[in-house]
Every structure is written in structure tokens, then in C-alpha cells.
Amino acid sequence: MILRVILGDQLSTNIAALARLDVSRDVVLMAEVMGECTYVPHHPQKIALVISAMRHFAAALQVRGVRLRYIKLDDPLNTQTLDGELLRAVQELRPEAVVTTAPGEWRVLQAMQGWEALTGVAVEIRDDQRFLASQVFFQDWAAGKSSLRMEYFYRKMRQATGILMDGAEPAGGNWNYDSENRKKLPKNVKPPRPKRFPPDAMTQEVLALVGDKFAHHYGSLAAFDYPVTSHEALAGFEDFIEHRLSGFGDWQDAMAAGEPTMFHSLVSAPLNLGLLDPLALCQETETAFRAGRVPLNAAEGFIRQILGWREFVRGIYWLRMPHYASLNSLKATAPLPDFYWTGATKMRCMSEAINQTMRYAYAHHIQRLMITGNFALLAGLHPDGVDEWYLAVYADAYEWVELPNTRGMALHADGGIVGSKPYAASGAYINKMSNYCGSCHYDVNDATGAHGCPFNALYWDFIGRHAERFAQNPRMAMPVRSLANMAPNKVSG
């Protein structure tokens, strides 16, 4: 008998650990454990999502006749760690071997590599094949390059998969329609409400459990409506293709008060759990474009996120860990302000992003990058505190994707591995891409007065602090020169 271990974000029927499963003999181990719920104080919606999706996945396995050892969080014998539950299972079931799939986090891989010594049984850790670029493919691509740019990796992925290709050429003649993804939302356009997935009885039971045990964690459970099965997740994706993908092209970077989801897909949480297949999402998007249902800038923009960014950041994570997690190239030292955990700030843009995160465990990319991330960058917040926050508060957060985005893309703490320049912006950018400033306590056109927009003063202070370093970067030299030519009391948005 082989014991097959499936983690909470490995909920795919084609997961490597289940390949060559002998239904008559093998046992699948799944365990809800406090250790995974509290290594950072996860948003209760994330915990509920993972546990509910685990229970739904286990129920589907059982229908297929798979023998299951499923340990619930409130099982009195639960040791509350993955190691402890594996050891207990091995001691009771005496398997010939343990088979599992490589995890999404370095921390868990370290633990898994100790499982043979822990249990005395052979442990096979199979590659996670749910990504479009294997680690070897990424390593080969990265080998010998002095800088790793997403754009070139993305082109290679387009060629390797044939997605949005006309023979050897990119569809439409260009690889990238990024410049057509930056429009502000017009006043008369209302983003469609995404499809909702009200909790079924199984999810309600999980919500009660999570409400009971994690009420002290940041964030509310009240608005939980995540898809918890692959069937639901697919319905959510189809709703996106039908109603929001067309607008995603133009308004991918736009933000608006009271519009937490804009034209975004909301696929990250179910995708990272394994409920959706990234290749199928890209193919369905291409089909919608080829059928004339969505414009090219929308289809390409969306595919670039999945085929490009998602695969790229995973490649960087496994290429550069564990060193990556300690990088702090801008030597940032400030602690994370309390308002990241409470939402209590008069900055309208920050309060929108943080409060919606508490309510939904979701913020879209530009809010994460150009609002909360930009503030953290400009204010010089220490990357450890910022990482912990991003890993805790989003339903889609796992270190393989969170860390390169936070430490790399948002904080530039990796010194330019993920992005060639910091995504630093003053209030003018936020005003250009949103309607937040119109209802803010602060004045976006002022920097130094009592009501001056904090992003303005912080921006110029950031440029000044790092002037020597940025003067060497052709993409940052302009603001350094502007600051040098500015009287100190004249800084503005």
C-alpha cells in the first residue's frame, strides 16, 4: 500500500501524487492542520476556502472509490502539523512508501525532505506538473542571462505553447499590447458584478469552524463567496470571459472607489488551489478572441498574466530561494504601520484597498502594486513585515507567488531581478488611474501643506534617499534630475 499525500493547494484530479493510484490498496492522506492556518495569520476567508475546497475534493475522491484518511481540524487526535499527521498515518497504516507532490513553498519542501528520516519509509516527491514551465525549463532559459526579463520569457512561452501565435509570428503582429491596457475607467462605465458562489452546507460548516477558531485574525468571513470546486471555478471563469474580459484589456490598470473587482477575472484563488488549469484558461481565452468575442488587447493582456507573469514569478522563486526571502537591497527598515491591519487611514486609496481586502481577501493587481505596495516602497517599510502582510491577507497567497511579487515587483528589494526599475509613483499616477483622490482628505496636487497627499512627499523623499543609486538606472534618472532641479519647498504631485 502506498500512502499518497495531498496538500491543501494540490486539489487537482491530475495531481502528480495520484498518478498510478491503486484504488483497491492505496490510501490518500489529507489533513487540516493549525500549523498551515497560522504560520502567518491568514485571512479567515483564505482558511475557509482552503478547508472547504479540501473537503469538496476529498468527497469527490471518495465518490471515485478512493480510500481516504481525512483529518479534520477539530479531530481530537490531530497533531496540527503536516509532519505530525504524516507520522501518525505511517505508524497506523504501515505503508510501503509515501508519494507526494512538490509543494508551493520552500518551507514545506524542507519539511518534506525530512519525511524519510521522520517516518523511516521511502518518500517520493514528484514534480508539480500543473505549471506550464517546469523548473528545468525555467533554469535553462535563465542560464547565462545577465538579467531576467518577463517579456522575453513570455515570448518563449508563447512559442513553446503556440498560444496566440500565427505560425512563427505573434497574433496581430505584436507580442504585447501593454500600452493599450492603461485607460482610466470612464464615469459612465459600471464594471459587471462577478458571479457569486453562495456557501453550500459543507462550506457553511467550515465557515462556522473557522469563525470559531480564527475570529482574531485580520479580515471578516461575512462576504465569503469563493468557488470551492473546479466545476464552480470554471463557471466563474466563463462568467469572466462572457462579461468582463472585453473590458479587462482597456481597464486592466484602472481603479475606482466601491469597485473592488473592476474587470478582473478573480481566478487566482481557485487557480492556485489547483481547481483550474492554466493552459485551459489560456486556450479558452484564445478561442474567445479567435471567435471575435473579445479584442486582442484583452485576450493578450490576460494571457500575459497567466502564461507570462504567473510562470515567471514561480520560476524566479525556485531559482533564487532561499536567499531571495532575505533580500533588502534598498535597506528599508520601517515597521509596517498598524493601519495595514485596521484600514484606519485618511488616505482614500489606501483605505479602499485595505478595507476591501478585509472584506473580500481580494484586491486587484494595481491596488496591490501601486497603492499598498507603492506606499510600502516609498515609506521604506521593511520587506519582512510587508511580506507577512501580503501572505496573510489574500485568499490567493502562497509564498511562491507572493514573495517575488512583494519583495521583487513592489518593493524592489531584490535589486531588480523581477523588474528593472521600482514601481514608484506619486499621487499623480493614482489620480490618473482612479477616482479616489476626488473624495480624499488629502489634496493630490499638494505635497508639503497640512493636507498634502502623503504619496507626493514620500515619492520625492524616496527619490532623494536613493538618488545616487537611481542616477545609474536609465529608467530612473529623470525623476532624480527633476528633484535636483526642484526647490525643497516646491515638490508636488
Which residues would be at the binding site for ligand SF4 (CB under 6 A)?
Answer: 347-349, 427, 430-431, 436-437, 440, 442, 444, 453-455
Site for ligand FAD in 360-399 (CB under 6 A): 364-365, 368-369, 373, 390, 394, 396-397
> d(Cα 288, Cα 249) in Å, to the nearest integer?
13
Query: Binding ligand FAD by CB under 6 A: which of 350, 410, 457, 458?
Result: 410
Q: What backbone torsions phi and psi does residue 252 show, to the nearest 5 degrees?
A: -60, -35
Shortest spacing between CB 446 and ligand SF4, in angstroms: 9
Give whichever of 47 and 444 is closer to ligand SF4, judged by the CB atom.
444
At 306, list the grid cell.
497567466
DSSP H/E element including 158 = helix 150-161
Query: Binding ligand DLZ by CB under 6 A: which of 15, 16, 29, 37?
Result: 37
Give whichever of 226 and 455 is closer to ligand DLZ, judged by the CB atom.
226
Shortest spacing between CB 462 and ligand DLZ, in angstroms: 32
> d(Cα 290, Cα 164) in Å, to the nearest integer?
9
Site for ligand DLZ in 144-203 (CB under 6 A): none
Give whichever of 50 and 350 is closer to ligand SF4, judged by the CB atom.
350
Query: Binding ligand DLZ by CB under 6 A: which of 21, 27, 33, 163?
Result: 33
Contacted by 103, from ligand SF4, ligand FAD, ligand DLZ, none: CB < 5 to 8 Å by type = ligand DLZ
Give whichever of 101 and 492 is closer to ligand SF4, judged by the CB atom.
492
Site string for ligand DLZ, 375-404 (x = CB under 6 A): -----------------------x------
Q: Is 70 within 8 Å of 58 (Cβ atoms)?
A: yes
Residue 71, beta-bridge partner list: 31
Give whichever of 327 and 491 is closer to ligand SF4, judged by the CB atom.
491
Helix axes 311-320, 150-161, angle to 10 degrees: 120
C-alpha triplet 290, 276, 52: angle, nearest 5°: 150
Contacted by 297, from ligand SF4, ligand DLZ, ligand FAD, none: CB < 5 to 8 Å by type = none
Query: Binding ligand DLZ by CB under 6 A: which of 104, 270, 278, 301?
Result: 104
Shortest spacing between CB 85 and ligand DLZ, in angstroms: 9
Give whichever of 362 and 436 is closer to ligand SF4, judged by the CB atom.
436
> d(Cα 49, Cα 396) in Å, to the nearest integer?
10
Shortest spacing between CB 66 and ligand FAD, in angstroms: 28
Q: Is 344 within 8 Å of 253 (Cβ atoms)?
A: no
Query: Binding ligand DLZ by CB under 6 A: which of 11, 40, 47, 371?
Result: 47
Q: Is 194 within 8 Å of 265 (Cβ atoms)?
A: no
Contacted by 50, from ligand DLZ, ligand FAD, ligand SF4, none: CB < 5 to 8 Å by type = ligand DLZ
At 250, list the grid cell.
482597456
Give whichever of 95 and 227 is closer to ligand FAD, judged by the CB atom.
227
Pairing between β-strand 122-126 and β-strand 165-166 as defined by DSSP bridges: unpaired
Contacted by 7, from ligand FAD, ligand SF4, ligand DLZ, none: CB < 5 to 8 Å by type = ligand DLZ
Measured over the CA atoms of residue 204, residue 210, residue 213 and residue 214, the dihedral's sign is negative
Q: Is 209 within 8 Å of 73 (Cβ atoms)?
A: yes
Residue 268 interacting with ligand FAD (CB under 6 A): yes
Pairing between β-strand 2-5 and β-strand 97-101 as defined by DSSP bridges: parallel
Residue 243 interacting with ligand FAD (CB under 6 A): no
Residue 105 interacting with ligand DLZ (CB under 6 A): yes
Residue 309 interacting with ligand FAD (CB under 6 A): yes
Residue 314 interacting with ligand DLZ (CB under 6 A): no
Determine the 3-state secondary structure of 64 from DSSP.
Answer: coil
Closest CA to 442 of 365, 363, 379, 351: 351
Number of residues that bind ligand FAD (CB under 6 A): 27
Give whichever of 53 and 369 is closer to ligand FAD, judged by the CB atom.
369
Burial label, 9 (beta-carbon count in 10 A; 0-12, 13-18, 19+):
buried
> d(Cα 183, Cα 297) in Å, to the nearest integer?
12
Report the chain's terminal Cα–Cα distance, integer Å.
66
> d(Cα 113, Cα 298) in Å, to the nearest integer?
42
Give whichever of 52 and 351 is closer to ligand SF4, judged by the CB atom.
351
At 14, list the grid cell.
491530475
Contacted by 436, from ligand DLZ, ligand SF4, ligand FAD, none: CB < 5 to 8 Å by type = ligand SF4
Determine the 3-state secondary structure of 258 from DSSP.
Answer: coil
Contacted by 402, from ligand SF4, ligand DLZ, ligand FAD, none: CB < 5 to 8 Å by type = ligand FAD
- Contact segment (CB under 6 A) with ligand FAD among 73-81, 199-207, 267-275, 321-329 equals 267-275
DSSP H/E element including 5 = strand 2-5
Q: Is 318 within 8 Å of 400 (Cβ atoms)?
A: yes
Looking at residue 329, what DSSP letter applies? T
Q: What is the DSSP string of 69-103?
A: EEE-TT-TT--SSHHHHHHHHHHHH--SEEEEE--
Please give the residue ranges that form the binding site for ligand FAD (CB under 6 A).
Answer: 264-268, 271-272, 305-306, 309-310, 313, 364-365, 368-369, 373, 390, 394, 396-397, 401-402, 405-406, 409-410
Please give the residue ranges that form the binding site for ligand DLZ (CB under 6 A).
Answer: 7-9, 31-33, 36-37, 42, 47, 50, 103-105, 108, 398
